[in-house]
């Protein structure tokens, strides 16, 4: 698609504590989404959702690193500029789905 719709999710300068709250909430909600997706797969099909099980540890590792960056900024008395954008692409699903 030529003109991809984009939306700003986060765009601003934040104190370290504000950054911590905003980013922990975003990552926490994504982790909960994947946990629920996996739970649903277990209940419906009796097996884990492979994508969810792969994504959860990746998200946890990312937030861990982000929190380290925030702690570092806090020690130096710095603010953080955070930008996050949602880009939507339209794709055809694989034939075997």
Return the domain boundaries, the chain: 15-87
pTM score > 0.75 for this model? Answer: yes
- At residue 24's C-alpha, the angle toward residues 21 and 30, to 5°, is 140
Q: State the DSSP H helix or E strand holding residue 77, giving kind and residue range, or none if neither.
A: none
Low-confidence ranges of the chain (pLDDT < 50): none
Neighbours of 56 (CB within 10 A): 19
pLDDT in tens, 66-86: 999 999 999 999 999 999 999
Give the span between the Cα atoms of 97 and 93, in whole angstroms: 7
């Amino acid at each position: 698609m030529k003109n991809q719709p984009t939306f700003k999710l986060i765009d601003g300068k934040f104190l370290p504590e504000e950054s911590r709250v905003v980013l922990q909430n975003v990552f926490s909600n994504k982790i909960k989404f994947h946990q629920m997706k996996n739970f649903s797969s277990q209940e419906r099909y009796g097996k884990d959702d492979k994508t969810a099980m792969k994504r959860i540890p990746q998200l946890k590792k990312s937030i861990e690193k982000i929190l380290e960056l925030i702690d570092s900024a806090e020690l130096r008395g710095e603010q953080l500029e955070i930008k996050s954008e949602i880009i939507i692409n339209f794709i055809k699903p694989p034939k075997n789905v």
